Structure 1
Amino acid sequence: MAEGEIITIDGPAGSGKSTVGRALAQRLGFLYLDTGAMYRAVALSALRLSIGRDEGERLGLLCRDLPLSFDADKIPPAVILGKEDISKAIRSPEMDLLSSEISASPQVREAMTALQRRIASEKNVVAEGRDMGTVVFPRARHKLFLTAPPAVRAERRYAERISRGERPERETVIKELLQRDHQDETREIAPLRPAPDAFIIDTGSMAIPEVLHAIIIRLLSNGLHISAHGDKIKC
C-alpha cells in the first residue's frame, strides 16, 4: 500500500463517525486524524485568549502557532495543547457551538486544512470531520459519510454526556444538536454535505461492528487490499 492512503469519514454530530473512525484506524493500523478535536482546540484557545469569532487575522495567527498534538498511547487519543491534556475541556456543548462558528473563518480553514493535508502526506490516515471528502481531501479514493435520524443522534449525545457525569435535559441536547446541524449545513465555507462519490451509511439502527463490517466491505470493493500490518483484511 502506498504511503499517504486516505480514508475520509464525514457526518453530522452523533452519527458515530468518531467511534467508527477510531475503530477503523485501529483495525487498519492507520493514524486517526480527529479534525473536529483540532477545531475544538482552536476554539478553546481563542476563548482563553479572548479572540472573537470574527477576528479572522488573529484566529489565523493562532492556528499557525498552535502547539497541538495527539497522544496516541491513550484510548481514545488524548488532545494535547502545549503540555496540557484538553481532551475533556473541548468536549462541552459550548465548544460544540463555538468550534462550528470558529471553523467558518476563512483564515482558520486555510491554516487547519494545510495542517491536515501535511499530516496526511506523511502517513496513512482515517480523517474524520465534516469536510474531509469535499474540501480537505477531495481526491481521496475512499470516502464515507455517516448519518442517522436527529432523534437517534441526540439520544447518543445525551448518553455520552451522562457517561461523563453531566446531567443535561434531553430537550436541551436535541436543541443544541439541531442548532449545530444548522450551523454546519448552512455556513458559507465548507458546509456539511456528502461528497458526490461518498459511500453513505445510515447508522441509526446499526451497531458499531455492523457499521465497520459495511465499511470494510466497501473498502475492499474499492481497491483496499492490505492492512498496514501486512495482513489480509477479513470480515
Structure 2
Amino acid sequence: MNQQQRSIIAIDGPAGAGKSTLAARIASRFNLLNLETGAMYRAFALKAIENGVSPEDAAGLEALAASSSIRLEASPDGNRVYLDGVEVTSRLRDNSVTDAASKVSVHPAIRKWMVRLQRELGENGRIVMEGRDIGTAVFPDADVKIFLDADPVVRSQRRYEQIEAAPAAPIAAAESVLREMRERDQRDRTRALSPLQPAADAVVIDSTSLTLDQVIARVEEIIRERLGLA
C-alpha cells in the first residue's frame, strides 16, 4: 500500500478553531473518510447526562463507558453519530452537551477508552481525524499533522455565530460563550492525560486573521508536499 493509499491526516486544536470545517473540506478534496472525534465525546457526554452521571464522577463514567457503543457513519452531509445503535447527531451541539464533553474528556480512563475506539475506526487509513490529541496520542505516526489555532476571542465569536445560526438555537450571549471557551481551553490544556498541545512534528496554523479558503489552501499545500502528490 503506497503512502497516498494509507494516508492518515491528523488535525488538532482548541474548540472553535475551525477543525471540523477544515477536516470536512480536506476529506472531500482528497477523497478521505472524515472522523470527527469530538462528536464521539459529545455522544458519550449525552449518555452521561441522560443517565444522571456527573461529568466529575470518574468511576461512574468508567462504568457507563463499559456498556456504551459509539459509531460514526459517513454521509454526504457529514458524519452521522450513533450511540448504542441510535442516531444522536442532531442532539450533539447543545451547549450543555458540549460543555459536559469537555469535562468527561479529562478523565484518563475515558480518554484511553476513546483512543482505543478512534484507533479502531482509523486502522485502515485514508482518513482525516480531528480532535484534541490525534497527532500526539491517537495516531502519533500520522502522515500529516496540523495544529489549528486562533485567538480565543475570535474562536468564541465563530462558535457564537454557529450557535445562533443553528435551527431552534438557544439564546446565547457572546460573553458567556467566550467564558465557557476559556474554561474549556483550561481543562483541555491542563488535563493529566494527553493535554492539548501541538505534536512536535505538527505544522501550527494560526487562523485568527485567515479566511477559511486561505487555511484550506495552506493545508492542501502541506498535504501534497508530505504525501508527494502532484
Aligned residue type for 2:171: R
Percent identity for Structure 1 against Structure 2: 35
What residue number does 1:143 align with? 145
RMSD value over aligned CA atoms?
1.8
Report runs of 4+ in structure 1 exceeding 6 Å deviation.
none
What does the per-residue CA deviation read over 1:126-176, in whole Å, with 9 as the maximum and x for residues that have no partner? 010000111111111210000111111111011001101332111111111
Task: Look up the match of 2:170.
Answer: 166
How many equivalent pairs are there? 226
- Structure 1 segments unaligned to the other structure (5+ residues): 226-231
Distance 1:4 1:102, change over 3 A: farther
Measured in 2, the distance between the counterparts of 1:53 and 1:167 equals 24
CA contact (8 A) 2:152 2:182 kept: yes
2:214 alignment partner, one of 196, 207, 210: 210
2:91 partner SS: coil
| Compared CA separation, residues 105 and 189, structure 1 to 2 (3 A) | same
Query: Which residue in 1 is equivalent to 2:118?
Result: 116
Contact kept? 1:34, 1:127, Cα under 8 Å: yes
Q: Pick the aligned partner of 1:91 from 81, 90, 93.
A: 93
Q: Does 1:181 align with 2:190?
A: no
Q: Which residue of 1 aligns with 2:13?
A: 11
The letter of the residue matching 1:174 is: L
Shift of 1:51: 2.4
Q: What's the TM-score, normalizing by structure 1? A: 0.89
Q: Please say if residues 106 and 187 of structure 2, whose CA atoms lie closer than 8 Å, have aligned partners that are also in contact.
A: no
For 2:181 and 2:192, the matched residues in 1 are separated by 19
TM superposition score normalised by structure 2: 0.91
CA contact (8 A) 2:12 2:135 kept: yes
